[in-house]
A and B are shown apart, each in its own frame.
Chain A
C-alpha cells in the first residue's frame, strides 16, 4: 500500500512539523511552485507504521541468506556504518576547503593506497559512483590512451559471451564495436577464437576473472600476452574480486585497467540499486587519464587533484567526488580486515562456494562445470528437473523465497540453460549452507510430487508470483491522485 492512499487532508504529525515556515522569499518567483506538492498527509503513527511495515517486507542480507551470484551480498559490518557516520564526516560540506577536511581526505588517500596494494595497480581513482560508471571510466581511459597515441584504427573491444551485460554496454557507450568471444566447454575463454579475433583493430578486451561461470580462467597470462602483443589493453571487471582478495592481483595478471565494486567486495550496503562505488585502478601508462578528483598527500597535507593537475584526465563523473559515505565504509572495512583478513575473505568465500557446490552435487543436482573447482560462486543447471517435472529455474527461485532464502541469480549467464548462479559469500555459516541444500532438496521433492505448488510459488511472501510480462509491457511507476 502506498502512503498516499492513507492520506487525509489536514492530517499532520504536529510534533515533527517545523516550528517556523521556511522563508522562500529569496527564490525567484518563476521558480516557485504554484500548486502545493501532492505530499501525503498522515499522522506520525501512520508514517511509523507504514515504514516499519515496508522494512518488514524487505528481503535482505540482514534477515535472510542472499546467495545472489555475481552480486556478493555479504554482511555489512555495523562498525563500518558507525564510523562512517561520525558527525565530522556526516556534517562535512562537499565544498569545504581541504584545510578543513584533512581527516576525511586522509581516509580517502589511504583507501586509494589500499586498493592499489590489493589489486597491484599503479594508481587508483575513487571517483566513479557505481560499478557501471567505473566500467565507463575504464573504457574511456582505453579510448583516451589510443587516441593520445594517434592509434585511431582500434575500434573493437573483445568481450567473452559470459560477460556481465554492462561490459558490452560500456564499450558501445564509448563508441567501440563489440566482438563476442565464446566460452569453451570447460568454462575458460575459447583461446583459439580469441587468437582469431585479436588484431590491429583491437582496442582491448574486457574480462571478469574469476568469470561469471564461477571459474578462474587458467589461460589468463596467455590471453594477456596475445592482446598486448596486438597492441590492445586488458580491462578487468572487478565484480568477482571477492574470490581472489589478497591471493592474486589483477595487476600481476597483466591487466591495464580495473574497476572494483566496493559495494560488493568491500561490503558496503547495496541491493536496492545503490549507492555504489566503483573505483578504477590503472597501470602506469593509463595514469594521466584517471577521472578526477583524486587525493594526494604533500608532506603532511592532503589535497584534491583536479583538472588543473591532470589535464589529460577523462574528467569528472559526478558533481563532487563519488559516494563519499560509501567510500568511508569501504575504508573502515579494509582497515578492520587488514592484510590477513582480506586473504581470509577470499579463502572462506571460496570454501563456502565449494562446500555448497559439493553438497548440492551429492544431493543429485547438476553443476554446469563439474570438472572445475568453483571460485566464489558456481552454477547449477536445472535442465533435468525442468524436463522431468516441468518445473524450471525460476520456479525453484520463487519457491526458495518461501523457505527463507533469497533466490540465487537466475538465467545468467545466458549460455547455461535453466541455471542458478549461486554465491554464498564468506558471511554464511556451515549450518546456513546446509539449510540451503535442505531447501533445494525439499523443493525438488515438491517438484516431483506436487509441481503446481512450486510453479505457483511464492506462497508465504507479502506478494505472490508477479506477472513479469505485464510489468515489462505496461509500466506503472507513478502514483497520481486521479488514478
Chain B
C-alpha cells in the first residue's frame, strides 16, 4: 500500500489537503495517484486569485499514460500555485506530499474540511476501487 499520511485530508479523486490552521490549505495528489499515473511529464497549474468551486477542475497533470484533471476539494480562492512544477513536473512523482504540492487555497468555508476523507477512509476508498 502506498503512503497515506495520517495528518492530511483526502478526496475520492485522490487529492490530499493539508490544513495550515490559518485559513489556508495546500492541495496535491496522493502517492497512490502518482504511482497509478506513472511518470509525470507536464503540469498545468491554476492562476492565483482564481475563484473555484468544490470539485471544479482547476489543474491538469499529464503523465506518459494519461492527462488527468485535478479537482479543487473545496470552494475558495487560489492564493498560490507551485511554479516549480513548470520545470520539474516529476516533483509530484518524487515527493507527492512535499515538493510536489500543486496549489494553495483559501477555502470559503474552512469548516467544510472536516467533511473530507481522513486517512483511514481514503485508504478504504482506494482498496474498494482496486
Contact = CB atoms under 8 A, between A and B. Distances in A.
A411 B65 contact: yes
Q: Is the interface of B mostly helix, strand, loop or mixed?
A: loop
Contacts of B64: 468-469, 472
A411 B66 CA distance: 8
A472 B36 contact: no
Nearest to B130: A417
Given A165-B67, A383-B130, A472-B41, 5 more contacts: A411-B66, A417-B36, A469-B39, A473-B42, A473-B89
A472 B89 CA distance: 11
Nearest to A165: B67
Contacts of B67: 165
Contacts of A417: 36, 130
Nearest to B42: A472
A414 interface: yes
Interface in B19-57: 36, 39, 41-42
B91 to A, nearest CB: 13
A473 B90 CA distance: 10
A469 B65 contact: no
Contact of B41 (A411, A414, A469): A469
6 contacts: A414-B66, A417-B36, A469-B39, A469-B64, A469-B90, A472-B42
Interface in B57-87: 64-67
A429 to B, nearest CB: 32
Contacts of B130: 383, 417
A473 B42 CA distance: 8
Contacts of B39: 468-469
Interface string A410-429: 01001001000000000000
Interface of B: 36, 39, 41-42, 64-67, 89-90, 130
Interface string A152-193: 000000000000010000000000000000000000000000
A414 B68 CA distance: 10
7 nearest interchain CB pairs?
A472-B41, A468-B64, A469-B39, A411-B65, A473-B41, A414-B66, A469-B41
B65 to A, nearest CB: 4
Contacts of B41: 469, 472-473
B20 to A, nearest CB: 32
A190 B95 CA distance: 36
Contacts of A383: 130
B125 to A, nearest CB: 15
A411 B64 CA distance: 10
A410 to B, nearest CB: 8
B60 to A, nearest CB: 13
Nearest to B87: A473
A168 to B, nearest CB: 10
Contacts of A165: 67
Interface string A132-167: 000000000000000000000000000000000100
Nearest to A473: B41
A109 B84 CA distance: 57
Interface in A454-472: 468-469, 472
B36 to A, nearest CB: 7
A467 B61 CA distance: 19
Nearest to A410: B65
A473 B36 CA distance: 19
Contacts of B66: 411, 414
A398 to B, nearest CB: 13
A414 B36 CA distance: 10
A165 B67 CA distance: 10
A368 to B, nearest CB: 13
Nearest to B39: A469
Contacts of A468: 39, 64
Nearest to B67: A165
B112 to A, nearest CB: 23
Contacts of B36: 417
A79 B42 CA distance: 45
Nearest to B129: A417
Contacts of B42: 472-473
A411 B65 CA distance: 7
A363 B42 CA distance: 39
Interface string A397-440: 00000000000000100100100000000000000000000000
A272 B113 CA distance: 49
Nearest to A469: B39
A257 B130 CA distance: 36
A469 B39 CA distance: 6
A383 B129 CA distance: 13
A472 B61 CA distance: 13
Nearest to B69: A180
A154 B66 CA distance: 29
B32 to A, nearest CB: 11
A477 to B, nearest CB: 15
Interface in A35-55: none
A159 B64 CA distance: 23
A417 B38 CA distance: 12
A414 B13 CA distance: 14
A378 to B, nearest CB: 20
A417 B126 CA distance: 12
A473 B39 CA distance: 11
Nearest to B66: A414
Interface string A52-64: 0000000000000
A409 to B, nearest CB: 12
A267 B44 CA distance: 38
